[in-house]
Amino acid sequence: MKRILMKKLLFLALLFAGTMPISAQEPEDGDMDYKPFPHMFVGVQGGAQTTFTNYDQLKLITPTASVYFGGWFTSVIGARLHVNGIWNKGGFDDADPDFRYNYKYVNPNLDLMLNMCTLFGKKDVYPINFYLLGGIGINYSWDNDEAYAQKAVLTKAWKNHRINHNARVGFQVDVPLAKHWGMNLEVAANSISDRYNSKVGGKDDWSLTAQLGLSYRFGFKKNKKSEGSEDEYDDYDEIWETRVDTIWYDDVTFKEVTADREIKKEIFFGLKEDGVSQDQAQITAVAEFLKGVKDGEITITSYADKGTGTPQSNMKYSKQRAENTKKALIEKGVDPNMIKSVEWKGDTVQPYPDDNDKNRLSVITGHGIYTDKEKVVTKKFRTKEVRYLVE
């Protein structure tokens, strides 16, 4: 009975394979914009299965379904995690009357896959592929209440659940439909621990599955030949040539240059005022100027207006203004050695003869050597090969 059922299922599998659509032309690896290997895949399958026992096998055929995930590492070798289930039947014909019982299972397996077409062929891509499968896993079974209820005759029926070992061998016929999609027919035999079907046979139980499936492939790498190589142009009647273009550009460098810079700041006072603060803007500006200067020196000259006061009082105010200006600069951090001279003119000199009030002031003048970086632009060129279409 087992051999007859095996032949029927194999015949059915071959019949399904014969009805699958086959591509009219084998794609060449170089014609693709991607490399067919390596890549990953996921898929679903559905079909029928049976577990062999001393009962009418046709009455024990049940639907089955699978999901899987894996990858092809080369055009020959792949691997996957395959999970199959969920319905199964058993039967017992030594009782009067005989009876059947249902139970459930899930069968996760780690499978090795070998593509026999690419193993013995000369190409990496074929319109139809034949895979050999082999793997190991576990079988988890449950919901065996119907069999356990017949404990009187099924003395080894298990209760609640059972974990079994599983070993699988089989084959798959795969037809690529497009870059990402494929259709397959798979037939596999599973060797499961004795008592899986609640009966004792003294050796492993065997089940057979036959399923049609659909797979989605992803993770392809780009084919370098499609990225502008010279071979790409061989498929056209166009004529291409190469020219050398000259590209001019500015090469920018910097050189150090020195310059003698000057500074002049004026501090104005009110009537009878001589106070100077280190925080005044003019004091700050002079201090900052002297920080980055070499051989710097400044001169302070103070004045009083002629329109008010006496020459004696005006000389006194201009002196105090000069000395207070010097003091503020030193408090701001100016090196006293950079202050070349401090002078006061009273009202003997009027820097602003047309504006009396402006003559109450201190004038700070100075200079120093600064080192700057000067931008130097040099015209240079480089060449570049450019491929262009002639006709």
Determine which helix (DSSP H) or strand (DSSP E) holds 14, and give its type and residue range. Answer: helix 2-19
- Among 184, 208, 223, residue at a domain's last position: 223
What is this structure's pTM? 0.54
Write the CATH number for 192: 2.40.160.20
> Which range marks the domain in which residue 62 is found?
2-223
| 173 and 321 share one domain | no
Write the CATH number for 342: 3.30.1330.60
Residue 292 CB partners (closer than 8 Å, separation 6+): 370
The answer to whether residue 236 is domain-embedded is no
| 219 and 314 share one domain | no
What is the C-alpha to C-alpha distance for residues 257 and 380, in angstroms, rounded to an integer?
24
Q: For strand 221-222 and strand 39-51, is the pairing parallel, antiparallel, or unpaired?
A: unpaired
| 142 and 13 share one domain | yes
Is the CB of residue 263 less than 8 Å from the CB of residue 365?
Answer: yes
| 48 and 105 share one domain | yes
The answer to whether residue 237 is domain-embedded is no
The gap from C-alpha 162 to its chain's centroid, in whole angstroms, comes to 44
pLDDT in tens, the chain (391 residues): 445 544 555 555 444 444 444 443 445 555 678 888 899 999 999 999 999 988 888 889 999 999 999 999 999 999 999 999 999 999 888 777 888 999 999 999 999 999 999 999 888 889 999 999 999 999 999 999 998 888 878 888 898 899 999 999 999 999 999 989 999 999 999 999 998 988 888 889 999 999 999 999 999 998 765 444 445 445 556 788 888 888 888 888 888 888 888 999 999 999 889 899 888 899 999 999 888 788 889 999 999 999 898 999 999 999 999 999 999 999 999 999 999 999 999 999 999 999 999 999 999 999 988 887 888 889 888 888 888 887 6
The answer to whether residue 235 is domain-embedded is no
Task: Give the SS3 label for residue 128.
Answer: coil
The answer to whether residue 208 is domain-embedded is yes
The answer to whether residue 157 is domain-embedded is yes
Residue 4 CB partners (closer than 8 Å, separation 6+): none
| 19 and 143 share one domain | yes
| 31 and 146 share one domain | yes
Give the total number of structural domains in the chain. Answer: 2
| 15 and 127 share one domain | yes
The answer to whether residue 386 is domain-embedded is no
Is the CB of residue 153 less than 8 Å from the CB of residue 91?
Answer: no
The answer to whether residue 238 is domain-embedded is no
Task: Give the SS3 label for residue 10.
Answer: helix
| 60 and 180 share one domain | yes
- Among 202, 223, 244, residue at a domain's last position: 223
| 214 and 290 share one domain | no
| 114 and 211 share one domain | yes
